[in-house]
Amino acid sequence: MKMLLSLFMIMSALCAQSQSDFFHIFRKYKNDEGVYYIDLSNQFKKIKDNDSKLETTIDAADIYLFHDSQDVATKDKDKLQQLISSRNLDLLVDVKANKTHSKLYVVDKGKYLEEMVGIVHTDNVNVYFFAKGHIVFNELSKLGLDFQSGGELDVLKRIKK
């Protein structure tokens, strides 16, 4: 019983650490000039409350928007790629169109996505998006995160409302 309790505590600590790994890479940029950080968790809750047919539940979602061609340091991009690899996130979408390059990495659990990392680069904006939960891929456009057709930043338009 003691061993089972110890194993549970170790697993809990690992899960808590993994949820904050992305935050640890990006937190130093949170208050930089030209960088906008938004916790989108409440925004997605509002969207779900307004559409009872949505199956998606997002537990945590953050977005970091770097304006005027600012971006994270190269070493942090490397850390992000290492984290994506170590967490076994698969590249689901890689779209280049109209001076925009969008990538969506996911942990796919079959009927839903458990974790998402979105990276969008344009001529004047670089965006990093992180979400965890029970995310149905076909509902991304309803959430303002349509990485396939160029609507990956539509969620930002909803925030202004």
Give pLDDT tens digits for 72-130. 999 999 999 999 999 899 998 888 888 888 888 999 888 888 998 989 888 888 889 89
Query: Regarding predicted confidence, which is higher, 52 or 12?
Result: 52
Angle at 15 between CA 1 and CA 131, to 5 degrees: 150
Among the listed residues 81, 89, 92, 91, the one whose alpha carbon sits nearest the alpha carbon of residue 137: 92
Q: How far apart are the first and last CA of the chain?
A: 52
Report the predicted TM-score, pTM, of the whole model to 2 decimal places.
0.76
In terms of Cβ atoms closer than 10 Å to its own Cβ (0-12, 13-18, 19+), residue 155 is buried
Indicate the average pLDDT of the chain. 77
pLDDT (0 to 100) of residue 147: 60
User: What is the enclosing helix (H) or strand (E) of 156?
Assistant: helix 154-159
**Percent of the chain whose pLDDT exceeds 90:** 16
Helix then strand count (H, E) for the chain reads 4, 6
The better pLDDT of the pair 51, 157 is held by 51
The domain ranges of the chain are: 21-159
Q: What is the pLDDT of residue 156?
A: 52
pLDDT 10s digits, 130-151: 989 888 888 877 777 666 555 4
